[in-house]
Structure 1
Amino acid sequence: MDPTPLGRQALEIWLSGVDAVRSERLLQSAVRRKGDRIAICDEQFSLPDIGKIAVVGGGKAGAGMAAALENVLGQQLLDEKVTGWINVPADCVRPLHKIHLHAARPAGVNEPTAEGVAGANQILEIVEQLGPRDLCLVLISGGGSALLPAPVPEISLADKQDVTRFLMHAGATIHELNTVRKQLSRIKGGGLLRHCRAGRTISLLISDVIGDPLDIIASGPTVEDHSTAADAIAVLEKYAGSPPDVPQTVLDYLKQSETEKSPHAAALSPVTNHVIGNNRMAVAAAAARARELGYAVHDLGSDNAGEANECGIELANLCRSIRDDHQIVAPPVCVISGGEPVVHVVPTDKPRKGGRNQQLVLAALDVLWHDGLPRIAILSGGTDGEDGPTDAAGALADAGILEKAVENNLDPRSYLAINDSYTFFDACGGLIKTGPTHTNVMDLRVAVIS
């Protein structure tokens, strides 16, 4: 990537937002140790009064959270009291002192796997062996739903994979997807807490969901589930889910569960859930950096959803109106927003690759194609460093990237039509590649207008 000066500033602002929500930083702000006492958010614990400390969980930020927690606790305490297991993507695995990082899925493949099931079972075994004097710390972050698969006995892993793929390709929201996942799981929807025998459980969460709903983040392993099998059926009916796209075993299990008392209604152990990081923090940090660089900030908030193509078109039109008509505020302006759109994946026999951020930026570029993008740079990226099944976090469009696209005779509409945004930006140098960032607070968009 060789962006223009404007593009480089957009990237710098975006990276400032990501850096503010890195899991190590968030964890160290939430957990502190002084002598024989440990403070977890607003609670104080005497270490001599604690038996064992179990650290379990899953998510894309799990490796950074676990490493930071080990640093806070210290080697002696780790050796004396701590055991741990965190399910993470394969490219996040690294050796830690006592907390095991388990490769629960390959990098860039956001689906449940047999390895994830094995790790989730290990986590349930760990928490089942705790006692009244023990403390269970649960580290949860975005991506935890796919990283912590534990299908109910009536449902196979293949069934779970099929229904997950169907809903993702149909454009289901994260709320809808997790509503179904919770009903098919032994660990989601408070399942981890139902297995836990610790006297005290504290869950630290980095949110990747609009509004930070505790029951939706990683499908709520430590949160009572108020959704029902009927709610899950309604989601599948909304997207016309039926065999062979949705396995008959899934439909039969949900229909049977409608008439039976849900195991999710069982009493839960005492727990406190703390959200220690979210998209609002990333947007605020990005806005602060933009102001330092001399931009007026137009903050669109952190609750932006919608369809990626439509979001890209709206952002492009907003940037053009600010540049040309000085609407809202006169340039130089930085437009910042967070959230998570969806992509409607179209059927095609052609090879294609992409993600929602790349799709959004390509849709914006298409709007401004004949404009030439003077004085505008638009960037959208996943704060986790992943965008769909690709090795890119997202994409950047500026005047230089558009010029290279024209030189290579690239037609954005043909790539948009089959969700092949990665191929387009790979050819013109617009991909943003960070590798795993060890955090996940949805997506962050930055547009700068000079």
Structure 2
Amino acid sequence: MSVDPQQLLRELFATAIDAAHPQQVLEAHLPADRSGRVIVIGAGKAAAAMAQVVERCWQGEVSGVVVTRYGHGAPCEKIEVVEAAHPVPDAAGLAVAKRVLELVSDLDETDRVIFLLSGGGSALLALPAEGITLADKQSINKALLKSGATIGEMNCVRKHLSAIKGGRLGKACWPATVYTYAISDVPGDLATVIASGPTVADPSTSAEALAILKRYAIDVPASVRNWLQSPESETVKPGDPSLARSHFQLIARPQQSLEAAAVKCRQSGYSPLILGDLEGESREVAKVHAGIARQIVQHGQPLAAPCVILSGGETTVTVRGNGRGGRNAEFLLSLTDSLKGLPGVYALAGDTDGIDGSEDNAGAIMTPDSYASAAALGLSASDELDNNNGYGYFEALDALIVTEPTRTNVNDFRAILILESPKHDA
């Protein structure tokens, strides 16, 4: 193959991002009637880019406010763009959440609301329930992020501690018509999980939220425990009439990005194998990927090289050390430790929003030389993994991927490129 392996991996990543960008996917889903007044609200890492599309396409009066992560803004003329903190909410997110709720709290049945939703919206639209402080939510959020809890579990807790999530925003809009356009960043693409489902009914319960906190041994103040034990903490349930005029449309999902990358693979002469959206500990998911890569190299199963293994989803990291690095760096470090320089195997892992966890990189690239090159620098892959230091490991190899914010988010993207190579015992 004449294609440079690292360049191909970067092109696959770019293809995956482009397939989920608001500029590509939103316009076709907007209402056919784009005249008259519309109120636009939104939250997530793609919110500003989505707002730009609405401004460009809407023919009537447009106003509103959206919130996105710091650095993920984009210039809009009619819709205000506010930036706030992610993944741990801050005062800016609290303030804009109050404004959003006020903006939709006195509408009538002739009004239309467009809600632009994408990954990160749960932390960015932070309005704690009555009696719960922002500091409470911040500490619980931090603990959940370090615990290894899945995104669904984290959002179950977030919804029941919120005055705006779990369908409450949709209820506040009644009797206006609400159109929610969502870019999914969660395995399974469940509307109730994407940014904690502010405009859709939620079947989860406060008892489940309490059980999750107990499962991960997360201490909470008495005010939080008392709230979760109160019937008032329940979210808006399926069948609630206040959501009868609330419509939800998924406009981009991880599978679309994986399929777009698969097309790019075929065009470049490589057979793709899509594993789909995956969850689990990053280091363990990496071990499974390593096993598949070895099987391909040694036995040509489940497909022959040259090929590319593709996967997405949202893995988790249980923080044990003091190193730097998000989910994707952790995955790639574990993969490097597992493969130990297996010839002909290259890999990229990155977050499609351009930010791996809370670092300044989207992810990193592994080559067959990474393991030995790092060892020559005195870096042990297993030791760095113990310290959760994927960022430091790949920074030393000058192998970090820095994209800047992409203004979309269909979560993690992983590609393992396997070239034709002699069989190797590993």
TM-score range, shorter chain: over 0.9
Alignment of 1:391-402 (within 5 A): 391-402=360-371
Query: Aligned pair in 2 of structure 1 residues 357, 199: CA closer, same or farther (>3 Å)?
Result: same
Q: Deviations over 1:332-386 (max 9, x none)?
A: 011111111111111x4x4x211111000100101122xx342110111111111
Which residue does the alignment assign to 1:34? none
SS in 2 for 1:264: coil
Which residue does the alignment assign to 1:354? 325
CA distance in 2, matches of 1:120, 1:261: 18
Alignment of 1:129-144 (within 5 A): 129-144=106-121
Which residue does the alignment assign to 2:275? 300
In the TM superposition, residue 311 of structure 1 has moved relative to its aligned partner by 1.0
From 325, 349, 356, the counterpart of 2:299: 325
Gaps of 5+ in 2: 420-426
Query: Aligned pair in 2 of structure 1 residues 272, 444: CA closer, same or farther (>3 Å)?
Result: same
Which residue does the alignment assign to 1:421? 390
Query: Aligned pair in 2 of structure 1 residues 217, 385: CA closer, same or farther (>3 Å)?
Result: same
Which residue does the alignment assign to 1:72? 57
Q: Deviations over 1:114-151 (max 9, x none)?
A: 10010011111111133221110000000100000010
TM-score by length of 2: 0.93
The answer to whether the Cα contact below 8 Å between 2:113 and 2:179 also exists between their aligned partners in 1 is yes
Letter in 1 for 2:329: Q
Which residue does the alignment assign to 1:30? 29
CA distance in 2, matches of 1:407, 1:267: 65
Alignment of 1:200-349 (within 5 A): 200-242=177-219, 246-257=220-231, 262=234, 264=236, 267-269=241-243, 270-302=245-277, 304-346=278-320, 348=321
CA distance in 1, matches of 2:295, 2:50: 42
The answer to whether the Cα contact below 8 Å between 1:360 and 1:380 also exists between their aligned partners in 2 is yes
In the TM superposition, residue 261 of structure 1 has moved relative to its aligned partner by 7.9
Gaps of 5+ in 1: 32-39
Query: Aligned pair in 2 of structure 1 residues 429, 373: CA closer, same or farther (>3 Å)?
Result: farther
CA distance in 1, matches of 2:24, 2:69: 20
SS in 2 for 1:410: coil
Query: Aligned pair in 2 of structure 1 residues 261, 27: CA closer, same or farther (>3 Å)?
Result: closer
SS in 1 for 2:84: strand
Matched, 1:150 2:124: no
The answer to whether the Cα contact below 8 Å between 1:124 and 1:195 also exists between their aligned partners in 2 is yes
CA distance in 2, matches of 1:95, 1:325: 52
CA distance in 1, matches of 2:28, 2:365: 32
SS in 1 for 2:33: strand
Which residue does the alignment assign to 1:430? 399
In the TM superposition, residue 46 of structure 1 has moved relative to its aligned partner by 6.4
Which residue does the alignment assign to 2:20? 21
Query: Aligned pair in 2 of structure 1 residues 8, 263: CA closer, same or farther (>3 Å)?
Result: closer
In the TM superposition, residue 286 of structure 1 has moved relative to its aligned partner by 0.4
Letter in 1 for 2:259: A
Query: Aligned pair in 2 of structure 1 residues 28, 45: CA closer, same or farther (>3 Å)?
Result: closer
CA distance in 2, matches of 1:166, 1:355: 15
SS in 2 for 1:437: coil
From 78, 86, 94, the counterpart of 1:117: 94
Which residue does the alignment assign to 2:336? 365
Which residue does the alignment assign to 2:103? 126
Query: Aligned pair in 2 of structure 1 residues 428, 261: CA closer, same or farther (>3 Å)?
Result: closer
The answer to whether the Cα contact below 8 Å between 1:385 and 1:435 also exists between their aligned partners in 2 is yes
Query: Aligned pair in 2 of structure 1 residues 261, 117: CA closer, same or farther (>3 Å)?
Result: closer
TM-score by length of 1: 0.88
The answer to whether the Cα contact below 8 Å between 1:154 and 1:249 also exists between their aligned partners in 2 is yes
SS in 2 for 1:377: strand
CA distance in 1, matches of 2:375, 2:262: 32
Matched, 1:183 2:183: no
Which residue does the alignment assign to 2:11? 12
SS in 1 for 2:71: helix
CA distance in 1, matches of 2:174, 2:124: 23
Alignment of 1:44-123 (within 5 A): 44-45=32-33, 47=35, 50=36, 52-73=37-58, 77=60, 81-105=61-85, 109-123=86-100
User: How high is the sequence identity, in percent, across the aligned residues?
Assistant: 37
CA distance in 2, matches of 1:7, 1:263: 46
